[in-house]
Amino acid sequence: MAGTFGPLRDEDADDGVVGIGMEAETPRKEPIRVLVVDDHALFRRGLEIVLAQEEDIEVIGEAGDGSEAVDKAADLLPDIVLMDVRMPKRGGIEACTAIKEVAPSAKIIMLTISDEEADLYDAIKAGATGYLLKEISTDEVATAIRAVADGQSQISPSMASKLLTEFKSMIQRTDERRLVPAPRLTDRELEVLKLVATGMNNRDIAKELFISENTVKNHVRNILEKLQLHSRMEAVVYAMREKILEIR
C-alpha cells in the first residue's frame, strides 16, 4: 500500500516496529475485526480509509472516548482495539482495563503521540499488547494489527528503548530486596522468558533451546497463566520487577 496518512508519519522517526511474539500458525480465514478509538473524528476517518484497503482487516466500529470504547467493545467484541491514550471522559489506559473485562479476547494496541515512559508502562500493566506512536507509517499500522492478532506484542522502537531503561531502573530500585515470585516458574519457563526478553520469536527460541516451536508456545502460555498476565511484554515487565530476570 503506497502513501501515508497525515500525522502517522514523521520523516525523522525510526522506521519499523519492535515485535515480541508468536508466529502465525495458519492462514487467517476471517478478516481481523478492528475497533478504532480516538477523540479526533478526522483521524478516525483517515484510519478507516487506510485500513479499508486491506482485504484481511475490517473496521467494525469507532469511538471518540474511552467510555464509548468500552460500550462498543462489549457490543461488537472486536479482535483488535486501536486506541489513543489521551482522550476526554475516560482515557485510553483506564479504558484498556475495562475493555479486558467486557471483551477478554480483544487485544489492545495503543496508538498515540505520547512518548511518556509512564504511559507506556501503565498501558502494559493495563493489558495493552502494543504501543505505537502516531509517527509510524500506514503500512506499519496494518502490519502491527496483523502481528498482534497473531499473538505478538508490538512496540515502537523509541519506546522499546525507554522500556529497557525502565527495566534497568526497576532492578536498581529493588537491589536491596529479595522478592520471591509466586507462583514459581520452572527452570525451563525461566529460560524461555529470558529469551522472550531479548526479542526472540518462538522459532528462534525453539532453535536456541533445541525444542519444538509448539513446546515454546506451550511454555509461553503457561508463563502467562501462572503470572495471570495478558501479554508476553507484560510478562517481561513483571519478571524484571520481581527480580526473576536481570538485564546487564
* Cβ partners under 8 Å of residue 176, min gap 6: none
- CATH value at residue 175: 1.10.10.10
Rounded alpha-carbon distances, angstroms, from residue 201 to 7, 90, 124, 128, 213: 30, 34, 19, 19, 10
Which residue among 159, 177, 200 closes a domain?
159
The verdict on 100 and 115 lying in the same domain is: yes
Q: Quick one: average pLDDT of 134-161?
A: 84
E strands, the chain, are 18-21, 32-37, 57-63, 80-83, 107-112, 130-133, 152-155
pLDDT at 7: 41
The verdict on 75 and 13 lying in the same domain is: yes
pLDDT for 174 beyond 90: no
- Across the chain, mean pLDDT equals 79
Nearest to 108 by CA among 35, 204, 5, 15: 35
Backbone angles phi, psi at 102, to 5 degrees: -90, -20
pLDDT at 244: 66
Which residue among 159, 186, 206 closes a domain?
159
**Is 88 in contact with 59 (CB distance < 8 Å)?**
no
Tens of pLDDT, residues 98-108: 999 999 999 99
In one-letter notation, the amino acid at residue 100 is: K
Q: Quick one: average pLDDT of 117-146?
A: 86
CB atoms within 10 A of CB 30: 8
The verdict on 188 and 72 lying in the same domain is: no
Alpha carbon distance 122, 79 (integer Å)? 21
- Provide the pLDDT confidence category of residue 8 given band limits of 50, 70 and 90: very low
Tens of pLDDT, residues 34-83: 999 999 999 999 999 999 999 999 999 999 999 999 999 999 999 999 99
Which residue among 140, 159, 178 closes a domain?
159
The verdict on 30 and 138 lying in the same domain is: yes
Residue 119 lies in a domain: yes
Residue 225 lies in a domain: yes
Residue 242 vs residue 104, higher pLDDT: 104
- Provide the pLDDT confidence category of residue 238 given band limits of 50, 70 and 90: confident
Which residues does residue 58 pair with via DSSP β-bridges, in sequence order? 33
Alpha carbon distance 155, 158 (integer Å)? 8
Residue 184 vs residue 35, higher pLDDT: 35
pTM: 0.62
Alpha carbon distance 32, 141 (integer Å)? 13
pLDDT for 136 beyond 60: yes
pLDDT at 159: 75
In one-letter notation, the amino acid at residue 11 is: E
- The three three-digit cell numbers of residue 152, written as one number: 505478538
The verdict on 145 and 42 lying in the same domain is: yes
pLDDT at 115: 81
Alpha carbon distance 103, 116 (integer Å)? 27
Tens of pLDDT, residues 186-225: 889 988 988 887 667 788 889 999 999 899 989 988 988 8
The verdict on 11 and 124 lying in the same domain is: yes
Alpha carbon distance 86, 107 (integer Å)? 19
Domain extent for 60: 6-159
